[in-house]
Structure 1
Amino acid sequence: MESIEEISESLKLLSDKTRLTILALLKHKDMCVCDIVEILKTTQPNVSQHLKKLKTGGIINETRRSQWIYYSLNVEDKLILKQIIDQLPSMQEQINNSNTTVCT
């Protein structure tokens, strides 16, 4: 079970709209930075900063696949965060309407 301090820090990370949107995207599939940049219509440095904070907070994992790093959710053992992320609106339409093969 997470401590109050750990939960508090995680909730601070979720208080940002961009980070919440990234988590909503990652609940559908693993993504690389360029996929997220394409969907959010923002810059790569901006997305990378948010991903770094989420990774440092233990909310996402990164996995190298050839030259790309893919990000995935890491909340299976964090019940409160998992419940919050499960309640986020679906981003499937945005994923479907984007060119999420930019990184390949």
Structure 2
Amino acid sequence: MDEIAEAAEKLKLLGDKTRLTILCLLKDREWCVCELVDVLSISQPGISQHMRKLKSHGIVNESRRGQWVYYSLRIQDKPYIQAVLDYMPGTAGTLSLLNKKEPGQCCN
């Protein structure tokens, strides 16, 4: 039962449209917080709250480079999340749905 409870808790996070959109963007590459702010039109504290939840459940990795924080997927041990993301668009498709373009270098 522990595996089911753990999977249910993690999948619950994907029920939020913003978090699911973030994971779709992360399918193809890592993203900096500033890029997510630009593409999703959400404040930096708002993005950070979503990322904190995803990180606390082991769904994303965080790495610091200077003052910027970059995120990447960490779902190798979570095939149920990979299965959901297999049905979701990647970066290009997600950007198209958002009517956005690939962000320029905003964090250099």
RMSD value, Cα: 1.8
What TM-score do you get using the length of structure 1 for normalisation?
0.89
Deviation readout 1:24-60 (Å, 9 max, x if unpaired): 0001110111100101111111111000000001100
**CA distance in 1 between partners of 2:51 and 2:40 (Å):** 13
Identity %: 47
Which residue of structure 2 aligns with residue 38 of structure 1? Answer: 38
Which residue of structure 2 aligns with residue 62 of structure 1? Answer: 62
CA contact (8 A) 1:38 1:100 kept: no
Q: Between Structure 1 and Structure 2, how many residues are aligned?
A: 103
Matched residue of 2:82: which SS?
Answer: helix
Which residue of structure 2 aligns with residue 8 of structure 1? Answer: 8
Moved segments of 4+, more than 4 Å: none
What TM-score do you get using the length of structure 2 for normalisation?
0.86
Structure 1 unmatched ranges of 5 or more:
none
**CA distance in 1 between partners of 2:82 and 2:57 (Å):** 14
Structure 2 unmatched ranges of 5 or more:
none
Which residue of structure 1 aligns with residue 80 of structure 2? Answer: 80
